């Protein structure tokens, strides 16, 4: 499929910026404007760690699916193929879903109220700054094939 020169989802790598800003903001807010921490519980910390690792594992599976499809995971890079198998058969955005799950787990493991509060804001920022431009790009790049895929696979789960 012919590609328009310099056509890509975004020139700014929003996902890593959003993730880093979220971690920094949560840490600063915990220091400057602390909220009551989650109750101390070794079980909750272990559950949080397991959820965090589950998110990382899901992300790794998403990266492997992109690699198997022969396309990039770089949020600013041009797509060489449309990933529709593996996790991408169930979610159009398994990497972003994995990040949200990892943030939830990290918030639980660290007893960080601010990090847990930030998760919905991270989801909104991802939709506005990364997912919407990526979807517009994929529609330009793959046309009807992407429209069929989008109609049959949910954004998150």
Domain boundaries, the chain: 14-27+40-152
Express each pLDDT in 95-149 by its tens digit: 999 999 999 999 999 999 999 999 999 999 999 999 999 999 999 999 999 999 9
Chain-centroid distance of CA 121 in Å reads 12
In the prediction, which pLDDT does 126 show?
Answer: 98
CB 129, CB 16: distance < 8 Å: no
The structure's pTM equals 0.91
Are the C-beta atoms of residues 93 and 73 closer than 8 Å to each other? Answer: no
Neighbouring CB atoms inside 10 A of 8's CB total 18
pLDDT at 6: 61
Span 8-56, pLDDT tens digits = 888 899 999 999 999 999 999 999 999 987 889 999 999 999 999 999 9
Secondary structure of residue 81 in the 3-state scheme = coil
Locate 4 and state its tokens: 């328009």
Q: Look up residue 9 and give its two tokens.
A: 């989802």
Q: How high is the pLDDT of residue 36?
A: 87
Question: Which residue do the tokens 């690699």 mark?
Answer: 67
Asked if residue 3 has pLDDT above 70, the reply is: no
């Amino acid at each position: 499929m012919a590609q328009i020169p310099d056509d890509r989802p975004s020139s700014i790598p929003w996902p890593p910026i959003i993730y880093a800003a979220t971690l920094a903001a949560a840490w600063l807010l915990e220091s400057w404007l602390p909220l009551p921490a989650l109750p101390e519980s070794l079980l909750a910390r272990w559950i949080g760690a397991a959820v965090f690792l589950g998110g990382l594992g899901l992300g790794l599976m998403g990266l492997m699916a992109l690699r198997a499809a022969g396309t990039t995971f770089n949020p600013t890079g041009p797509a060489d193929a449309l990933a529709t198998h593996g996790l991408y058969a169930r979610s159009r955005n398994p990497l972003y879903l994995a990040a949200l799950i990892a943030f939830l787990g990290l918030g639980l493991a660290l007893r960080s109220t601010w990090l847990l509060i930030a998760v919905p804001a991270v989801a909104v920022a991802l939709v506005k700054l990364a997912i919407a431009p990526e979807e517009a790009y994929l529609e330009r790049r793959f046309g009807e094939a992407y429209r069929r895929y989008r109609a049959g696979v949910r954004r998150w789960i």
